[in-house]
Each structure stands twice: as structure tokens, then as C-alpha cells.
Amino acid sequence: MNTIFYDLRRTFRSRFVIVMMLIIILSAALISYALTNPGQNIPKSQRVLNVSTLFLIVNGIFSVLIPIMAIFEGYVAYGADRASGVLESVICRPVTKTGVLISRFVAGMIAIIIALAIAIAIIDATALSYYSKSLPLQDIAALFWIYIVEGAAFLGLMYLFSHILKSQTSLIGVAIAVFLVLDILWTTIVTLVAFGVFNAGSSPSKFISIETVMDFISPTGYEANMLLYLTKETTAFVRSSGLGAATLSVNPASYGVTLISLALIGIAWMVVPVLLAYMLAMKRD
């Protein structure tokens, strides 16, 4: 317990962590400002909160910020010390190898959860003030779940790679590659695989089937499946005379996206990477 408190203090003394928390909170404030339809004098009785649009806006911003915070927090808090050998001096104290790993992982997740809690509270308070209606509890819970899963996944991956790679340079390189592949470029990769490998351009249903399966193997793709489950809508790329995108209303269960599958895969993303790191810490060190 003392180790966790020590690592919590250490985490919140990190300038990077504080800056990322402030950026996430500021982003929530900007999203909240956009919700008030600036420049439009809409009567209060005609104001309608489109939750689907809100989720898309939040996803577009948080799906980048949360992975950045998790990846580099993992590097600063654990990976850099592990690669440089500084972590070994910590382990020489009456603290176990796995104890350091778990306490720093928990401290990192607490920082992400606090930033999320403040950000979502700001958005919800704005919705209540402007629309006279708070966000539905299930939507608040969904937002928390999505980004806790994503944060834990990327943070766990950093801890895992810290036990596979032996230099800070290679760890930074892999961190950037993981962020680009599993986050920034993931939608492009899914589309290329659907078209190039499975020839799904002429069938929206086939495209969505491939997309949902692939999205479960990326933390950022997991967000897309959560949004599909919540909004019952998705964007499919189809090829007729050219390449175009169409927003379709679908039954998520038809594509394997159910509450059970989302819960199981979400838990797997939160647990498996850090569990593998834990096992390597026990075996290799």
C-alpha cells in the first residue's frame, strides 16, 4: 500500500502527466463550448442534445489523447527506468519486482481516471445547463468504460514492451509505431484489408462484418464497436462508380457486437497486456 501511495505522488509530480490531464480537461471544455451552438440563438425549448454526435466528437479527440497519455506515461513511469536500469535500484529496496509494476500501473490508471472524471463532469454539466438535461447514466458509464479500457490497454502494452525491449530508443520507437498502427492508422488499415484481402467493396454488410472483427483487436477499434453498439449506426465504405462512405443503421448483434462480447473483450484488453508484463517480470528478471 505504501508503494502505491509513493508511486501516486511520483505520478502527480510528473509534468507530462499534469500537462496531459490539463489537455484532456481543456478538450472537454472545448467540446462543451461546441455543444452550446455558439453564434446561434436557439430557444431553450428547441434545444436537442444529439448523443450520437456528442460521442463522435468525444471519440475523435479522446481516442488520440488517452493513448498518448497512457503510452508516454508508461514510458516515463516504468519503461525508461526499466531500460536504463534505474528500476533495479528500486527493486533492491524491500519492494518486489511485481510490486513496483503493479503500483506504478495502478498509479497511472488513477491519473487517467481522474482526468476522465473531470472531463466527463464538465461535458455533463454543460449538457445540464444548456439543454436542461443531463447525459443518460448509461452514456456516462459507456464513456468511462471506453476510455478506461483504452487507457489500460495502451498502458499495459507499454509495460509489456518494457520487458521485451532493452533500450530506451527501441522502446520509444515501438511506442510510436504502436500508437500509429493501433490508433491513427487503424481505420485505414481496416479499410485496406477489407478491400484488398476480402474484396468487400461491393457489399456493405461484408465490410461491416470484417470491420467489427478487426476492431476488436485494437483498443481504438474497440471504441468503434462500442459506438456501434450504442448508436446502432456505422460508416461503411462501398465502391460503386467510385469509393464512397455511407452511414448505415444496423443491428450490432448481427455482427457479433453484443454487451457480452464488449464486456469480455474490454476486460481482456485491460488485463492481458499488463498480465503478460507481470509474467515476464517474474520469469525474466
Quick check: 211 and 186 in contact, CB under 8 A? no
Whether residue 164 sits in one domain with residue 214: no
Q: Which residues contact 62 (CB under 8 A, 6 or more apart)?
A: 24, 27, 119, 147
Report the chain's terminal Cα–Cα distance, integer Å: 23
Whether residue 207 sits in one domain with residue 121: no
Residue 88 has pLDDT above 80, yes or no: no
Mean pLDDT across the chain: 85
Give percent helix, percent strand, percent coil of the chain, each to the nearest 5.
Answer: 75, 5, 20
What's the pLDDT tens digit per position in 169-207? 899 999 999 999 999 999 899 988 988 888 876 777 888
pLDDT classification of 242: cutoffs 50, 70, 90: very low
Whether residue 228 sits in one domain with residue 87: no
Whether residue 191 sits in one domain with residue 173: no
Distance CA 248, CA 38 (A): 29
Distance CA 159, CA 79 (A): 6
pLDDT classification of 232: cutoffs 50, 70, 90: confident
Domain boundary residue, one of 184, 217, 237: 184
Residue 1 has pLDDT above 90, yes or no: no
Distance CA 102, CA 114 (A): 18
Mean pLDDT of 257-267: 96
Whether residue 107 sits in one domain with residue 90: yes
Whether residue 195 sits in one domain with residue 172: no
Mean pLDDT of 265-269: 97
The per-residue pLDDT for 241 is 43
The per-residue pLDDT for 62 is 94
Distance CA 103, CA 7 (A): 6
Whether residue 129 sits in one domain with residue 12: yes
Whether residue 177 sits in one domain with residue 231: no
Overall number of domains in the chain = 2
- The C-alpha cell 481496416 sits at 190
The per-residue pLDDT for 236 is 61
Query: Strand pairing partners for 234?
Result: 248
Q: Cell digits for 52?
A: 450520437
Q: What amino acid is encoded at 89 in this protein? A: S
What's the pLDDT tens digit per position in 44-67? 777 787 777 888 888 889 999 999
Domain span including residue 151: 2-184
Whether residue 192 sits in one domain with residue 176: no
> Could you tell me if residue 285 is inside a domain?
no
Q: Which residues contact 275 (CB under 8 A, 6 or more apart)?
A: 156
Whether residue 144 sits in one domain with residue 14: yes
Whether residue 198 sits in one domain with residue 161: no
SS3 92: coil
